[in-house]
Each structure stands twice: as C-alpha cells, then as structure tokens.
Amino acid sequence: MRWPVSVKGVLFDDVGEVLLGLNDRDEWELIGGRLEHGEQPEEALVREFREESGLDVVPSGLVTAYCFDPVPGRTVLIVAYRCLLIGGRLRGSDEHSNVRFHPLPLPSSLALPHGYRHAIELCS
C-alpha cells in the first residue's frame, strides 16, 4: 500500500504565535504539502511555505510523523517539522482563504485536526 506524503511545518512568530492556514474544508492546518518528484522533504517544505504563505523558512528538526485521513478513505502520511523564519512577507494563497498567526493556547473550538494540534504542542 502506498500513501502520499505531505510535509508540514510548525512555525512560531517572535511572540510565540503559530502560523496556520484555513483550507477549503474550513479547517485550519499547518502550512505545507506534497513532495514533488525527486524532492527531499525539507526542500518541499521550504517551497510550500514560500508558495502558501510568502515566508522563507528553514526546517530545524523533525517533530512527528503519522497517518491522517483528511477525507474518508484517503490516507496521507504527514511528516511535521519545526521551522525557523528567515524572511519573506506574510500573504495568502490559492490554497488557503486565510493565513495568519494564532496565539497559544489554541482553543479547543478551533477546527484543527488532532495531529496538527499535537505537533504544535510538541514544539511549544
């Protein structure tokens, strides 16, 4: 069985808020996406951050990896890294209707899948 791999990044700003994007399922998620052919996970994460948020990051360590079903019957292997901000300017993208930093602790009412929430907790 083969599953797609999606790399995600946990990025905090200088006041400790975490960056999330609002997807088309009205769920908040970590920034990131699928690897392209021949791409290393860290390279994909840098590319995805630039595309989805306008920010330049450096992955600084693997946080967790787990299987996730974003929709029933579709499993994706999520690989989450902690990231450090090195530049860029925050902006939205076609993939997220809203991209912004959220203060911690995140409210339980925030529509954020458990695995992403857990990755954030491991980094904070």
- Dump pLDDT digits (tens) for 73-87: 889 999 999 999 999
Hey, which residues does 111 pair with through a beta bridge? none
Instruction: List the domain boundaries for the chain.
Output: 5-123
Region for residue 121 given its phi and psi (left: phi exceeds 0; alpha: psi -120 to 50; beta: otherwise): alpha
Kindly report the CATH number that applies to the domain delimited by 5-123: 3.90.79.10
> In this structure, what token pair is assigned to residue 15?
């006041």
Distance between CA atoms of residues 10 and 27, nearest Å:
16
- Dump pLDDT digits (tens) for 13-68: 999 999 999 999 999 999 999 999 999 999 999 999 999 999 999 999 999 999 99
Question: What are the backbone angles phi and psi of residue 36, rounded to the nearest 5°?
Answer: -95, 160
pTM for the structure as a whole: 0.94
- Give the single-character DSSP code of 117: H
Peptide bond into 72 cis (omega under 30): no
